[in-house]
Amino acid sequence: MQQHSKTSVQTQTNPHRQRQRSVAEESQLAEAFNTRADDISCANAREQRPDPQMEGVYIISVAARILDVHPQTLRKYERLGLINPGRTLGMLRLYSREDIRRVRLIQYLSGSLGLNLAGVEFALGMVEKLLLLRERLGAASKDTPLEKTIQQELAALFGSTGLPLDD
């Protein structure tokens, strides 16, 4: 009887120890989230992203692999307010293409330019204001003689920053 209970204890898995998922399993999970994006109810995502059909959402482990960072780094960026991924009803973080683009920009600002996270926060705020200005000027100058000039000037301004703003 003791041997039997000993054997069953040895064969039981430790609930505190999680099995590592393979890249294929992570991709399948991400694909499942991708194909069922309209079924996923994200707590804040609907307010931030007007399109309810989210394109390319990734769970934290997949996003971390894409960005070549530790998942804890993504949690830290979220805690500091630098990124704001969507969430499922089960509170899983879902990173969109925009979130991935933003983290790449954070990596560039901190890694290549040597900014600390306070500087990154300031720079991201300025980039957001510039992007908003570009949208507003584009809408205001649509179908006017100044449209092309404004687009060229804004392209030159964004190009001079050296920031990786496109995907």
Domain membership flag for residue 129: yes
Model confidence at 155, pLDDT cuts 50, 70, 90, reads confident
Domain membership flag for residue 1: no
Domain membership flag for residue 50: yes
Cα-Cα-Cα-Cα dihedral sign, residues 76, 81, 82, 83 = positive
* Least confident among 2-6, 72-76, 123-127: 2-6
Domain membership flag for residue 14: no
Instruction: Report the domain count for the chain.
Output: 1
Domain membership flag for residue 7: no
Give the domain range for residue 27: 20-161
Model confidence at 129, pLDDT cuts 50, 70, 90, reads very high
Domain membership flag for residue 91: yes
State the pLDDT at residue 45.
40
Domain membership flag for residue 12: no
State the pLDDT at residue 25.
52
What CATH number corresponds to the domain at position 57? 1.10.1660.10
Domain membership flag for residue 167: no
**pLDDT digits over 43-87, tens only?**
334 344 444 444 679 999 999 999 999 999 999 999 999 999 999
State the pLDDT at residue 71.
96
Model confidence, pTM: 0.60
Q: Which of 20, 32, 76, 25 is nearest to 57 (CA)?
A: 32
Q: How many Å apart are CA 95 and CA 47, to the nearest integer?
A: 15
Model confidence at 26, pLDDT cuts 50, 70, 90, reads low
